[in-house]
Amino acid sequence: MKIAILGAGAMGSFFGGLLAESGQTVTLIDVNDAHLQAIREHGLRLETGMGDRRISSLETCRPEQVTAQPDLLLVFTKTLHTATALEGIADIIGPDTLVLTLQNGLGNVETVARFVPEDRIVVGMTTWPADLAGTAHVRSHGFGIIRIMAADGQERSGVAGIAEALSKAGLRCTVDQTVWQAIWEKVAFNAALNGICAVTGCTVDQLGAVPAGFALASAVVDEVIAVARAEGVEADADHCRETVAHAIAQHVGHKPSMLQDVLAGRATEIGAINGAVAERADKHGIAVPCTEMLLGLVRLIEARMKADRQPTA
């Protein structure tokens, strides 16, 4: 399978490395020239539970350099960059190209559908963690799963083929028609852990240092699941809290993507996660004070970072 990965950050590089290692033809597409050049010259250093090694079979290029039409386009850009990124490679999305989004937050299918018919969009969620440990260097702590389905809800053979390829790479993927439940549960997970870590600077495991860490995460989970149920999605708060507790216990040293963005001075995905939940909560008249508090605090951090970047007179 010819696979193009749009966005070669921590998750895109991690998935690309494992897929290439399993024998797939993989091209990483990004605008980080130093990262791409280092991979071309030295391979991608990949640290996982299976060992520390270098993957040298990856192709890398900038968006304007892409020419071949992939069988599968895997979108791993930040949600706020998705539309611009897809515009940059629209010419290589062929009539048979399937597009898979495993991105955080809500609204991703709607964005992809501006470029690809819904019957060629695959939506899913993953619990795999990954950190960009340096240029051309990705580290993953613990294990995860992937659940995917056709965005239009139909059973399609291409979706099963994607799941098979991901599983062959060790990524443990299943086709599951209840993916929207999983997506909302991950939104709850991310609204809690990404938000709290971004505000406090804690790694995931450090949230277990005091009982208040898990208590706050649980409160956010309950709020998000209440909104999901109002949206007609039977998300499971108990299961989500168990996932949060497992992450705190097992994802030692892991810096969630939102914390990585804050540390790097980048804009975060808070709007597509806590912000999207708050908007839907308002529509249903549901109070989500903890979710909104984290939203406000992260936006304050973003505003401070933006001000810090402004040149002084």
Indicate which residues carry an active-site annotation: 186
One-letter amino acid for residue 56 of the chain: S
What is the rounded distance in angstroms from the CA atom of residue 258 to the CA atom of residue 222? 21
Q: Residue 255 phi/psi, 5° resolution?
A: -100, 110
Element (H, E) at 20: helix 10-21
What is the rounded distance in angstroms from the CA atom of residue 204 to the CA atom of residue 42? 31
Q: Residue 226 phi/psi, 5° resolution?
A: -60, -40
Q: Which residues is 27 bridged to in the sheet? A: 4, 59
One-letter amino acid for residue 139 of the chain: R
| DSSP track, 261-305 | HHHHT---STIIIIIHHHHHHHHHT---HHHHHHHHHHHHHHHHH
Spatial strand order in the sheet of 44-48: 51-55, 44-48, 137-139, 131-134
